[in-house]
Structure 1
Amino acid sequence: MARPRQTLLTRQRIVDAASALVDAEGLEALSMRRLATELGVQGPSLYNHFPTKADILDAVADGVISQVSLAAFGTADWASALRSWARSYHAVLVAHPNVVPVLAHGPGRRPAALAMADVVYGALIDAGWPPARATHIGALMRYLVTGSALGSFALGFDIDPELYERYPHLQAAPRLAEHHVAVDEGAFELGLDLLINGLLASRREDRVDDVRA
């Protein structure tokens, strides 16, 4: 009797399995041995596609970034494009929170992350922002998005009412957990509004200064 045909092991299969494992159990659950078990292969076969676990993590992180929409750049003004991109970026990271610590270190050599940085920076330069300021804006947007996805502000409060008897301004804190989605999304949207509006105001002031000069 012929032996059952084994499913071909590919880079994409490895990345998909690693992504599912990280999403379900966190970064600490990912190991070459565990991944090989999940895929039903021998551990050494993974090394034919990825030299190290870090390389797999990079591919997982880049796969997450590839889901972020950059469609607004080139079709909307710079402020609207930034807002649309930030919302997509935020939504993707909220859907894959366990990968955020990897992404927080920057794009490294990851193709999708570098392509995203290139599009955002290029759009800001095309809009007339000086290179240094465009870099600052890109970094600031990343701080807001990754920071907002690293953890829940609301879920950081204990639900025991007695804990807050000594803190008169935190009497409603035990109920924050019930509304954590609204609190966290509201905070992100507020931060995004303040950031974009501040940048728009800065541009207006720059134009006034240019006219006066």
Structure 2
Amino acid sequence: MAVAQRRPRGRPSEPVLSAERITGAAVRLVTSRGHGALTMAALARELGVAPSALYNHVATKQDVLRRVQDHVNREVDCSAFATLPWDRALTAWARSYREVYARHVPLVPVIAVTPVRGAPHTLAMYERVAAGLRAGGWPAHLVLDAVVAVESFVLGSALDTQAPPDIFEPGAEAADGSALAAAVRARAGADPALAAFELGLAALVEGLRAALRRATAAPTATATG
């Protein structure tokens, strides 16, 4: 009669790795210590493994950054493009985008420079946005310009959420009748960063509406002699 082999006692010498665990650790590392702190050695320490163990799951640091980008972008809601006009959908997407990155501000440099190739959730987000703009009448050659314009504004606003409350206080150097000091005193609202975002977003979307009207206007006929 065969005797079943017993499983060795004790824990594995190293934690079991997966792409998901590596991505989660990378997100925690960047969020807590900043974009520059993400190295393969630091990631291995965070996971309690040897650096060589990481390469069974990820090829390079760029691969890790792509996974981080994709992980966070899953949180951005772009569903409004399926039901709303392009301008209202773009507004909803921008608000969600900012809210997500306001919670992950140290990841802003990652989203700003990491290619989307190989990041399925990120690609799906941009595909939905691009399709929504095209359905709204945007010419193909202007779609990415509109997306980048909104994205640049959103990511800058996400960074602004971390600004200190007194960032515009001129202090004792303010001259009598200083326009800046008066503006600081007059600024109202519990969340000035959000108020600035909403003002800028409204202006940006209105500007995009005007740009679309210009881009799709019929050429003016000119009289010939």
Q: TM-score with structure 2 length normalisation?
A: 0.79
Equivalent residue runs for 1:39-54 within 5 Å: 39-54=47-62
Corresponding residue for residue 91 of structure 1: 99
CA shift, 1:157, in A, is 2.6
Closer/same/farther in 2, CA of residues 180 and 33 from structure 1, 3 Å limit: farther
> What is the total number of aligned residue pairs between the two structures?
211
Deviation at 1:163, TM superposition (A): 3.9
1:77 to 71, 74, 85: 85
Secondary structure in structure 2 of the residue aligned to 1:67? coil
The alignment status of 1:3 with 2:10, answered yes or no, reads: yes
Which residue of 2 is the match for residue 168 of structure 1? 178
Q: Distance in 1 between matches of 2:134 and 2:72?
A: 26
Choose from 117, 129, 140 the match for 2:126.
117
Give, in whole Å, the separation in 2 of the partners of 1:11 and 1:105: 21
CA distance in structure 1 between the aligned counterparts of 2:46 and 2:23, rounded to whole angstroms: 12
* 1:162 shift after superposition: 2.1
Rg larger in 1 or in 2?
2
Secondary structure in structure 2 of the residue aligned to 1:171: helix
**Structure richer in helix, relative to its length:** 1
Q: 1:187 aligns with which of 196, 202, 211?
A: 196
Whole-angstrom distance in 1 between the partners of 2:162 and 2:23: 30
Compute the displacement of 1:159 (Å). Answer: 5.6
Alignment of 1:104-143 (within 5 A): 104-105=112-113, 107-109=115-117, 110-143=119-152
Question: Could you tell me how far 1:139 is from its partner in structure 2?
Answer: 1.8
- Give the whole-Å Cα distance in 2 for the aligned partners of 1:87 and 1:23: 20
Pick closer, same or farther for the CA change 1:22–1:180 going to 2, 3 Å: farther
CA 1:174–1:33 in 2, change beyond 3 Å: closer, same or farther?
farther
Q: Distance in 1 between matches of 2:138 and 2:156?
A: 24
The verdict on how the C-alpha distance between 1:44 and 1:128 changes in structure 2, with shifts beyond 3 A counting, is same
Taking only the aligned residue pairs, the percentage that are identical comes to 37
User: 2:139 & 2:156 partners in 1: Cα distance?
Assistant: 25
Task: Output one character per residue of 1:23-78: Cα deviation in whole Å (capped at 9) or x when no partner.
Answer: 11111222222222221212210111112222112211221112111111111111
| Aligned counterpart in structure 2 of residue 24 of structure 1, from 28, 32, 35 | 32
SS at match of 1:48: coil
Give the 3 Å change call, closer, same or farther, for CA 104–13 of structure 1 in structure 2. Answer: same
Q: How big is the alpha-carbon RMSD for the aligned residues of Structure 1 and Structure 2?
A: 3.1
In the alignment, is the contact (CA less than 8 A) between 2:94 and 2:150 conserved in 1?
yes
Moved more, 129-138 or 8-17: 129-138
Looking at structure 1, the residues matched to 48 and 146 of structure 2 have their Cα atoms a distance apart, in angstroms, of 45
- Aligned partner letter, 2:73: I
What is the rounded CA distance, in whole Å, between the counterparts of 2:124 and 2:190 in structure 1? 30
Q: Cα–Cα, structure 1 residues 180 and 165, in superposed 2: closer, same or farther, change >3 Å?
A: farther
TM superposition outliers: structure 1 runs of 4+ over 6 Å? 173-176, 178-181
